[in-house]
Amino acid sequence: MELHVLTLIALASATAAAEGPARRPNVVVILADDLGYGDVRCYNPDRGKIPTPNIDRLAAEGMRFTDGHSSSGVCSPSRYTLLTGRYHWRTRLQAGIVNVFGKPLIAPDRLTVAGLLAQEGYRTACIGKWHLGWDWPIPEGRADLFHAKPPDGRSEPPEDQAALWREVFSRPVLGGPTARGFGSYFGTDVPNWPPFCFIDGDRTVGVPSRFLPPELLRDNLASLQGPALAGWRLEPILPTLRDRACEFIERSARARAPFFLYLPLTSPHTPLAVNEEWRGRSGLNRYADFVMETDAVVGRVLDALDASGAADETLVLFTSDNGCAPYIGVDELEEKGHFPSGPLRGYKSDVWEGGHRVPFIVRWPEAVKAAAVCGRLVQHADLLATCAEILGATLPDGAGEDSTSVLPLLDGGDAPVREVAVNQSSGGLLAIRKGRWKLVFGPGSGGWGRGRDDHPAQLYDLSADIGETRNLYAERPDVVADLTAAMEKIVADGRSTPGAPQKNDVPVKWRRFLDAAGEAQKAAAGKTGP
């Protein structure tokens, strides 16, 4: 860990309240991958057909937030925001996700939740999908050979490519979780992308030496060809992560220090590699079966907490990185009566609510009343500030710039803790939320969802129109002006929370879709004018 990281962490710790932290709970964050708001039965009792008894149990024993959000409709950006408390669009990632074998998105000097908790004496582990980039040791000038696709679809690479793979995968891979505050890491990075192997700490487990067989690149399984371990299978990934997580909980509960487990699951995202026990169990489709298997993994983690005796002293956050992916058979599910987005418009990738309003459940027996439901606006970004307040630490100005503590809500309060929130589509279209109002700075979904209107932007009153069916942009220019000014300030200040102004990593072109729509309208008017 670099010196600047340690300095930031020390500053956060040094500003702790004089009387010291009153509570030091263990923290477990379970991040499902592509699980829709309506895929969890307790969020969608009327139009949800997938049994999710373990996630429902978590809600019955804790607090279910109905207005909880990821920062983006896709995963890498959401993961950045959750771990750093800073909006991803302040970085180079203005649209899309971190590419295969991409560079680290979290800067080396950026304070993360793991870094803060490690300084406070926590054992920290990340187990699962990282997808925030690494410094892969690919020699300069040899990237083309490293990434070359198999000739004629064969499984074995040419010898020069195989030799390069041996060279790269025999060396440490830096810039990952253990360089961003975590004491340990085990996972697959991105399960449907290469390298098709596990990574333990900063080393691949084995040396990938073959291309993934073509039969594993069909039917919502893996999606990119690349280096794989011989005999690599997709079905064991989720059970292996489950077992590793339970082992970490059991070991950590026996130690005297509190622990932080970040468990970014690989499911129910593709590959839809459902294990035999769960195939056909939903009666709907393979994705629904995978949701059931994911729910069972959550149950095993909760059982491990119970068996270890740590459950009462553990804050568990369960959420999802974004909405359900439409390509997993959404039309088929809706025909059978299951609606993965519930009452929301859109799906994964969209700036509409179905893209980023997600299940958001907190169980903390020492503090949170059972079966509580909270309708206040919260975001993944709020994890860092919440942990800091629980521990009595004050974040430095250059950390958690978009993070607001939700501790007052967990303690039973009902006053809003967050005035505004910003969300983004996969294509980079931004929206700002303030109270009941949501302003989208351009037309359409900004992602894969279809639907447009004649206005250059979109304004919705979510208190009366949760499905975003009525665009009030032309009817409420006063609200549009207020939210536009708020967005302009959030971008200019480099933060959305109180504190000294900060710099964005790059210029943020937040008006580009709005400007493009205006130019298109002018062009259309010119063609049809007198």
Q: Which tokens belong to 448?
A: 């894969």
Please say if the pLDDT value at position 230 is more than 60. yes
- Band (152; pLDDT cuts 50, 70, 90): confident
Please say if the pLDDT value at position 2 is more than 90. no
- Band (9; pLDDT cuts 50, 70, 90): very low
How far apart (Å, rounded) are the C-alpha atoms in residues 378 and 418?
7
**DSSP conformation class of 227:** E
Q: What is the pLDDT of residue 19?
A: 39
pTM of the entire predicted model: 0.94
The CATH fold assigned to 3-134+176-191+234-418 is: Alkaline Phosphatase, subunit A (3.40.720)
How far apart (Å, rounded) are the C-alpha atoms in residues 400 and 382?
8
* Cα-Cα end-to-end distance for the chain: 66
- Over residues 55-70, the pLDDT tens digits come to 999 999 999 999 999 9
How far apart (Å, rounded) are the C-alpha atoms in residues 133 and 98?
6
Q: Would you say 122 and 260 are in contact if contact means Cβ atoms under 8 Å apart?
A: yes
- Band (12; pLDDT cuts 50, 70, 90): very low
| Residues pairing with 31 in the sheet | 264, 319
How far apart (Å, rounded) are the C-alpha atoms in residues 216 and 210?
13
How far apart (Å, rounded) are the C-alpha atoms in residues 195 and 100?
9
Please name which of 129, 438, 114 lies closest in space to residue 264, comparing C-alpha atoms.
Answer: 129
How far apart (Å, rounded) are the C-alpha atoms in residues 59 and 50?
16
Average pLDDT, the chain: 94
- Over residues 382-394, the pLDDT tens digits come to 999 999 999 999 9
How far apart (Å, rounded) are the C-alpha atoms in residues 513 and 493?
21
Q: What is the pLDDT of residue 155?
A: 85
User: How is the chain split into domains, by residue range?
Assistant: 3-134+176-191+234-418, 138-171+208-233, 421-528
Please say if the pLDDT value at position 21 is more than 60. no
- Band (525; pLDDT cuts 50, 70, 90): low
What DSSP line would sit under 123-191, residue for residue? EEEEES---S--B--PPTT-HHHHHPPPGGG-SSPPHHHHHHHHHHHTS--BSSGGGTT-SEEEE-SST
How far apart (Å, rounded) are the C-alpha atoms in residues 249 and 256?
13
Only one residue has tokens 């949501």, namely 438
- Over residues 29-65, the pLDDT tens digits come to 999 999 999 999 999 999 999 999 999 999 999 999 9
| Choice among 151-160, 290-299, 326-335 with the minimum mean pLDDT | 151-160
- SS3 label, residue 115: helix
The CATH fold assigned to 421-528 is: Arylsulfatase, C-terminal domain (3.30.1120)
Please say if the pLDDT value at position 5 is more than 70. no
Q: Same CATH topology for 3-134+176-191+234-418 and 421-528?
A: no
Q: What is the pLDDT of residue 159?
A: 95
3-state DSSP of 442-494: CCCCCCCCCCCCCCCCEEEECCCCCCCCCCCCCCCHHHHHHHHHHHHHHHHHC
How far apart (Å, rounded) are the C-alpha atoms in residues 196 and 221?
12
How much is the average pLDDT of 301-306? 98
Please say if the pLDDT value at position 402 is more than 50. yes
